[in-house]
Structure 1
Amino acid sequence: MRFKYLKYLAFALGGLSTVVAAGALYLYATFDGSRLSAELTHFAKQRYQRTLRMEGPVELSMFPRLRLGLPASTLSGRSGSGEFIGFEQASISVRLMPLLTRRVVVEEVEIAGLRMALLRDKAGKLNAADLLGQDGDTPSSSGNEPFDLDVGSLRIERGAVTWMDERDGRQLALSGLSVETGRLGPAADGRLRATTRLTRAEPATDVHVELDGTYRLGEPDGRLRLRQLKVAAQGDFAGWQALDGEAALSELEWADTGPSPIQGVSFEIRGKAAGDAFELRANAPRLTLTTAGPEAESVEASLRLDGKLRGGSVRLRLNGLVPADGGLKGSKLTSELDLRLASGRVVGALAGPLRWQAASRQLELPGLAGDVSFTPARSGARPLKFATEADTRVDLQRSSAAGRFALRSEAQQVKGSWTLPRIDSTAIGFDIDVNRLDADTLLASRPANNPAADKTEDRIDLSALRGLDVDGTIRIGHLTAAGLKLEQVKLPISVHGGRLVSSGHSLSLYGGTLDGSLSVAAGDGKASYRGYLQNADLGALLKDAGVRQKVSGTTNFFVEVNSSAESRSSLLRDMQGLARLRIRNSSVPGIDINQAIAEWRSALGSRQGARRPHRDREATAVGELTASFRIENGVARSSDLKADSHMLRVSGTGDLDLARRQIDYLTKVMFVVVPVLPDSGPLASLRGVALPIRVKGPFGAPDWHLEPRNVPLAAMVNAGQGVARSLPRVNPKTVIQAVGRAVKKATPAADKPAEVAAPE
């Protein structure tokens, strides 16, 4: 009986094989590739209102498997608008047995030279919505689908995909796309590998991407499981250079309904931004995706910068992330800062809640608070500690960010706001108000053990301007800098392309005002300044600036210069430009001209030169003083110095060597009124005579030199005669009488005995 059943089974299998073979031969004999191409074209037109063009018939081969070969084809967009998808060639391997029941079960798909153009219009509608069953106008399925999705493997080579978003104005492209999968179907396990090149015109992006992981499809609960998924990327992205990034997750269970847990999410990116190296890391031990949004107990992230001008780290930790009001909220976001900037070091910690508005795509940090300290970059500078409050808003829909902040210390209050017009750029705007700032105290250094460490470097480092894209205004109520007391300071700042411009800055000082414009370029080290100081008390200004000489007067000063800002010495040595000076109610320190002329009477009579050193306690009132200067290579030359008072008229020409701090000025001093003094008679002849007096020496204490060689001879003779006449006349008779009276007074009287002096 057993052999009888085996014989029946063999006959049955043989008959089935005969039927299958006959069916395959019949299919091959009756297959019409041209008719199938026409039917597919008709189906695309009737079902999806798209035009399918196939450059030839569909081919059928039987060995080694039943295979349909598709020629180069294109499928248009909806209603024939442009090309949506195309390929150079494709092949589909199908199973034979389902074909006998008029079903097509795909076993393997291979596509070469794939092209796909994805578009989202201004209304947010995708141009593939009808193919994905997301278009309400698409007819419902009739149940006689031409394909049954059970693909043994999918392989794509030399693919290219473009994406255009008309709503956001963004576009990108994937080229060199290569995809290889395992089985795609019910209860399918497989491995996914993909590589591509991502490019974008604005901002400039060129990134090579690789993806690798395993998956499981068609679980009884309808979940998709991804395990050990890794994504690696290298290239340039939106201004970041030499990126090397990797993202990974241990396991993802994706469900159409219900929560989708993700285990072990992390990513790490290394690269360069504006020439500075950075490293960004983030991880979440467990993240759950729900229909309302993601949930996580904690998410951590860190950013580390390593550049010449700025560096340090920022650490973030978010606790209690849950969905709320159509968005997300975090109970507490903690940030730890340790940043090294060109101006100094910032250390501190801030904490506050977090909110995410999904509808408007806005991230809000409404109440960050904590303590922050700032230590200036100058060696030995004292740190400043501030109680800090801040609000931040990031608008991803407009790709912008903005915020406000307030800093409070024992002596200072700082309030301000900032904006990022575009998150993917380095541009920043700001507006800052400071009630009081003592820059001298801020930059003061502690005593150093090595005296050489206290010496300020001559070089001016402008490298901090590179990489900045800044526009803003700083206002300071009271500012102390270099000993000067300034008020109502308004300082507009603009930095672009390594060039600092402060156009229209203004301030009040010592009863006057200063308005000016500054420009400094890091590229060539050139600097220019134009400023106008009006009605300032020169004496008080110079006193606070540390000038010892007692100078008085109300000054107006205009300057327009340019120079090299590579070093402090070159700033003065290479200066070019012009300047004008006017001082009212002025005095010249270091000399009392009346006293000097009195001391020089004999030199005037003999037409000899004389020198008089600078004397700190002396000064000469000159009324109003004016002069203009032409500055070349750090030397200010003037030929129109004038000073007038009720007694004097002064004119002069000379040089001011700004780099060496030396003065060489030849002045001509003329007495309009001779002062009434006990010995001023001899000076009467100098009325109207211009006396040459040269001022020469260091700025702080120049010498005064009388140079009378060019004075008219008659004036000198009269001055000499005046000196001779001023000496007392000698009368011989008067001298003899005075001597006789003295002798008589000393002789003793005759009726009195002479007193004998006791011996000593």
Structure 2
Amino acid sequence: MKWNSGRLWLHLLVYGIGGLVALFLLTQAVLLWQFDERAVRDALQSSLADTGRRVSVAGDITPQLFPRPGLTLEKLSLSAPDGRTPALAVAEARIGFAWLPLLLGDKEVTALALDGVELDLARDANGRLSIADLLRRRANSDVSVRLDSLALGRANVRFSDALSGRRWRLDALEMEADELRDDARLSARAVLDTGRQRVGLALAAPLRIQDDQVSVNALQLSAKAKLPEQGETQITLTGRLKLNFATLQASGEALRATLATQAPAAELVIDMPTVSASLASVELPRADLKGFMRQDRSEYRFAGRLDEIALTEARLAAQRIAGALTWLAGPHRLALSVDGPLDITNLDALKVEPLALTATATTPLLPRGKLVARLAGHLEGSLAASALNLRVAGSLDGSDLAADVRQFGFVKPRHELMLSVGKLDLNRYLPENSARPVAVFQDTRPLSLDWLDFLNVSGQLSVGELAVGRFRVNGVSAKIDATPQELAVSELSANIYEGQLTGSARLVRGNPHRLDVDQTLQGMSIRPLLIDLFNFPRLDGHGDGHVRVRAQGSNFAAFKDTLSGDVRMSLNRGALTGIDLVAALKNLPQELKDLGNTPVNAVTDQRTTFSTLSARFALENGVARNQDLKLASQLVNVSGGGKLDLVKSIVDYSLDVSANPREFARLKDVSVPLKITGPMSAPVYALDFNAMVKGKKTQGEKQQALKQELTRQISTILP
């Protein structure tokens, strides 16, 4: 035999092809010989008879040979255990068999592909799944299942839960799994419809199947959705899982869940070292949390842990949640340290009780220190309603503090609060200043209201004792409304300067800012008030008043320069400092001569006491004008008018001073016109020559009038 003969190789090729064709025909003949459509239908219908379920094929049953021997079933359906209610419908099912067992007369299913699937799942009030009977091992049959590939296409799954009353759907489910007998790769995607939100799901996982256990060594599960407030939101889960379908148990290691949102930019990472789960519960010895949220010009950061976590259908509980939440807004910082047990019912009602809370505030507004509050109480809320309620009590830098705070919304929260502080001395935190403290309306530092950007707060504030700069206020109570546009204080009452203050104030943010004040004062000591506001110490006394003013500017000094409105006051038992008008009248005519020749500077230890003083001021752009000043005392009466220029800090007043005739009979016809001018802090007093020569035109007439007036006054006084 010549192996290099062309005829030999031609014969071998022909015989080989013929053998393959014969084998193909033989295999097809064997398959067709074994295939009996009626027998297949009958076998399918009786396959689950012990469960009460009914299997039927309404379409054709077609055998196939390539790429592997198998069957194609059209319009396959499966009923519920009652035999009537539809549970599963499949438009087309393709079943693949192994070659060798089939040639030996056995049927081993190695591939299954379902297309156009409609599946109804349910869980009853006892927690039993509607397909629980299908998950247990079946009795021996002439068909064995050792899948190597599994595919689902165009599948829709509907689930109803009698325990929670919830319903959801999986739409457009696509799943592919290959090499299931070895190191397999599973991929799936679907859309979850909860009734309120549609969520895109994607799964990728290498897995290994051993009997009833499935091991996933590199799980990658993601869920994406577009939420109304957060924009595109994504949740991912990675780690290792083991699933046991016989016991319906699962365990996990090194699991990490990540939540990320687009608007605002936020991320929450949860690391779970170990997890054990069943259909009834999930248990975690520990979970570590870390996250952030950035919005506008602020940022939230959180780091903490949960211990001994138990999750069921109705409840999530952790023996302890401990961590730190930090809010950052430019140079401002608020750090909250929380510690307590966590309980969430029905994935909605949240509760932390007892709660230990430490709050620390640091800001350039308090450059010398930070505010620290140590509190205890409880936190409760509703996750579904995005609402929280915090009730705590404790101390703020050693002073009593109680707070009731309600929050509405998690992304752009709005707060309602009731805050009570026993004592607060802000001077401990304000900048050190070796110089004399500046009066409020002399402060030229820019008034920054950027911190309002982060507030949407309304509520009630009460402070037992408050110290800010020179101010000492007791019994403060007010309604507060703060938004990015304005800060409003209404229903204000306070014990200040030995009296009572009531009214309202509003600071509107802008360029420039606008200030509106409407206050009523009762029984107040006027001197410390004027010193603290304008550094004006020349008036003393107790009494009542009403202030209704408006101003605008970028600092308090600018507010002073633009003050406009109306101020009324009525004082009792007070004094004008810098001059003693009573002594001057007693010592006439020498005092009169002195006042006529040279202006007299105010002397700090000299006082003109009075029993009553009343005046009404009309303010315009920092200048207060008054024409009805009246001062009365047992010895002297004063009337007149003038102006106080707060911008230039000068006084210009014309007064008519007369002695009380009951006390000074010889002075009953004496009336001294007095002029007060100069800086508010050091005014000078002089005779008002203009009043004496009023109506005179020539210089000679004025000189003659002055001589006559002085002669008359002196002759009246002398015996």
> When the two structures are superposed, what TM-score results if normalisation uses the length of structure 1?
0.65
Match of 1:462 in 2: 449
Q: How does 1:108-127 map to 2 (within 5 A)?
A: 108=113
Q: Determine the structure 2 residue equivalent to 1:586.
A: 574
In 1: Cα distance, 2:472 partner to 2:637 partner: 34
The one-letter amino acid paired with 1:458 is: R
Which has the higher mean CA deviation after the structures are superposed, 514-523 or 486-495? 514-523
Structure 1 pair 534–169 and aligned structure 2 pair: CA distance change class (3 A) = farther
1:566 Cα deviation after fit: 3.6
Q: 2:186 aligns with which of 187, 191, 199?
A: 191
2:505 maps to 518
Q: Is the 8 A contact 1:293 1:328 kept in 2?
A: no
Contact 2:314/2:347 (CA < 8 Å) preserved in 1?
Answer: no
Identify the match of residue 153 of structure 1 among 137, 151, 170. Answer: 151
What code does the residue aligned with 1:94 have? Answer: R
Residue 635 of structure 1: CA displacement?
3.3
* Alpha-carbon shift at residue 669 of structure 1 (Å): 1.3
In 1, Cα distance between equivalents of 2:566 and 2:166: 52
Q: What runs of 5+ residues in structure 1 fail to find an aligned partner?
A: 1-6, 28-46, 49-56, 71-84, 99-103, 135-147, 449-454, 730-760
Residue 488 of structure 1: CA displacement? 1.6
SS of aligned partner of 1:616: strand
> Is contact 2:281-2:313 (8 Å) kept?
no
Deviates more, 1:242-251 or 1:570-579: 242-251
Q: Secondary structure of 1:466's partner?
A: helix
> How far 1:512 moved relative to its partner?
2.3
- The residue aligned with 2:473 is 486
The answer as to whether partners of 1:667 and 1:692 remain within 8 angstroms in 2 is yes
Match of 1:211 in 2: 202
Are positions 1:407 and 2:394 aligned together?
yes
Q: 1:552 aligns with which of 540, 555, 577?
A: 540
Match of 2:681 among 682, 700, 705: 700
Give the Cα separation in 2 of the matches to 1:599 and 1:198.
99
Q: Say if 1:61 and 1:162 are closer, same or farther in 2 by CA, change over 3 A.
A: same
Which of 364, 369, 376 is the aligned partner of 1:377?
364
Aligned residue for 1:552, secondary structure, equals strand
**Residues of 1 paired with 2:255 and 2:649: CA distance?**
70
Identity %: 17
| Counterpart residue type for residue 405 of structure 1 | V
1:59-74 equivalent positions in 2, closer than 5 A: none
Partners of 1:259 and 1:381 in 2: CA distance: 58
**Letter in structure 2 aligned against 1:253:** L
User: 1:613·1:703 contact (CA, 8 Å) conserved in 2?
Assistant: yes
Q: Secondary structure at the match of 1:555?
A: strand
Task: Give, as a single letter, the amino acid of the residue that structure 1 aligns with 2:152.
Answer: L
The 1:11/1:211 distance shift into structure 2, 3 A limit, reads: closer
**For residues 60 and 657 of structure 1, what CA distance do their matches in structure 2 show?**
106
Q: Select which of 235, 240, 260 maps to 2:250.
A: 260
Q: Does 1:17 align with 2:28?
A: yes
State the Cα deviation string for residues 58-80 of structure 1 (Å, max 9, x = none): 9999999998999xxxxxxxxxx
How many pairs does the alignment contain? 640
- Contact 1:662–1:699 (Cα < 8 Å) also in 2: yes
Q: Which amino acid aligns with 1:229?
A: L
> In structure 1, the residue corresponding to 2:445 is in which secondary structure?
coil
Select which of 361, 378, 403 maps to 1:391.
Answer: 378
Q: CA deviation at 1:259?
A: 3.9
Of 204, 211, 218, the residue aligned with 1:220 is 211
Q: 2:343 aligns with which of 339, 346, 356?
A: 356
Once the 2 structures are TM-superposed, how far is the Cα of residue 474 of structure 1 from its aligned partner? 1.9
Whole-Å Cα distance in 1 between the matches of residues 291 and 185 of structure 2? 36
- 1:606–1:720 Cα contact (<8 Å) kept: no
SS in 2 for 1:710: helix
Counterpart CA distance in 1 for 2:518 and 2:569 is: 14
- Measure how far apart 1:366 and its partner are: 1.8
Deviation at 1:412, TM superposition (A): 0.9
| CA spacing shift, 1:173–1:15, aligned 2, 3 Å | closer
Shift of the 699–717 alpha-carbon distance from structure 1 to 2, 3 Å rule, reads closer
Distance 1:214 1:629, change over 3 A: same
C-alpha displacement at 1:268, in angstroms?
A: 3.8
Cα 1:15–1:115 shift into 2, 3 Å: closer
Retained in 1: the 8 A contact 2:391–2:405?
Answer: yes
Which secondary structure state, in structure 1, belongs to the residue aligned with residue 605 of structure 2?
coil
**Which has the larger share of strand?**
2
Query: C-alpha separation between the residues in 2 aligned to 1:95 and 1:674?
Result: 126
1:9-408 to 2 correspondences below 5 Å: 14=25, 17=28, 92=92, 94-95=94-95, 108=113, 152-155=150-153, 179=174, 181-182=176-177, 189-194=184-189, 211-214=202-205, 220-221=211-212, 226-231=216-221, 237=227, 239-240=229-230, 246-251=236-241, 253=243, 255=245, 257=247, 259-269=249-259, 278-290=266-278, 293-304=281-292, 310-311=298-299, 313-322=301-310, 327=315, 329-336=317-324, 339-340=327-328, 345-346=333-334, 349-352=337-340, 354-356=341-343, 358=345, 361-369=348-356, 373-378=360-365, 380-396=367-383, 399-408=386-395
> What TM-score results when the alignment is normalised by the length of structure 2?
0.69
Equivalent residue number for residue 10 of structure 2:
none
Q: Deviations for 1:395-442, whole angstroms, at most 9, x for unmatched residues?
A: 446543222222336741112222234556512222222122222224
CA 1:108–1:331 in structure 2 vs 1: closer, same or farther (change >3 Å)? closer
- For 1:286 and 1:96, the matched residues in 2 are separated by 39
Q: CA deviation at 1:284?
A: 1.1
Is contact 1:468–1:497 with CA below 8 Å preserved after alignment? Answer: yes
What's the offset of the Cα at 1:250? Answer: 3.2
Aligned-residue CA RMSD (Å): 5.9
CA distance in 1, matches of 2:168, 2:686: 79
Residue 199 of structure 1 deviates from its aligned partner by 12
Distance 1:9 1:727, change over 3 A: closer
Kept after mapping to 1: 8 A contact 2:309/2:317: yes
Give the equivalent residue in structure 2 for 1:35. Answer: none
CA displacement at 1:653 relative to structure 2 = 4.1
- Partner of residue 620 from structure 2, selected from 627, 632, 652: 632
**Whole-Å Cα distance in 2 between the matches of residues 716 and 216 of structure 1?**
116
Q: Distance in 1 between matches of 2:478 and 2:543?
A: 23
Instruction: Give the equivalent residue in structure 1 for 2:407.
Output: 420
Which residue in the other structure is 1:686 paired with?
670
Q: Which residue of 2 aligns with 1:51?
A: none
**Equivalent residue letter for 2:678:** G
User: Contact 1:178 / 1:195 at 8 angstroms: preserved in 2?
Assistant: yes
Distance 1:278 1:360 in 2: 21
Find the residue that maps to 2:421 and give its secondary structure.
strand
Larger mean Cα displacement after TM superposition, 427-436 or 595-604: 595-604
TM-aligned CA deviation for residue 93 of structure 1: 6.3
Counterpart contact for 2:538–2:681, Cα < 8 Å: no
Q: CA deviation at 1:179?
A: 4.5
The CA deviation at 1:269 is 4.6
What whole-Å deviation, never above 9, does each CA across 1:8-50 have from its counterpart, x for those lacking one? 99978635525868999x99xxxxxxxxxxxxxxxxxxx99xx
Q: Distance in 2 between matches of 1:634 and 1:620?
A: 27
Counterpart in the other structure of 2:699: none
**CA separation in 1, counterparts of 2:668 and 2:499?**
41
| Equivalent position of 2:7 in the other structure | none
Partner SS, residue 613 of structure 2: strand
Once the two structures are TM-superposed, the CA of residue 648 in structure 1 deviates from its matched residue by 4.6
* Structure-2 change in CA distance of 1:496 and 1:684 (3 Å): closer
Structure 2 CA distance for aligned equivalents of residues 641 and 384 of structure 1: 46
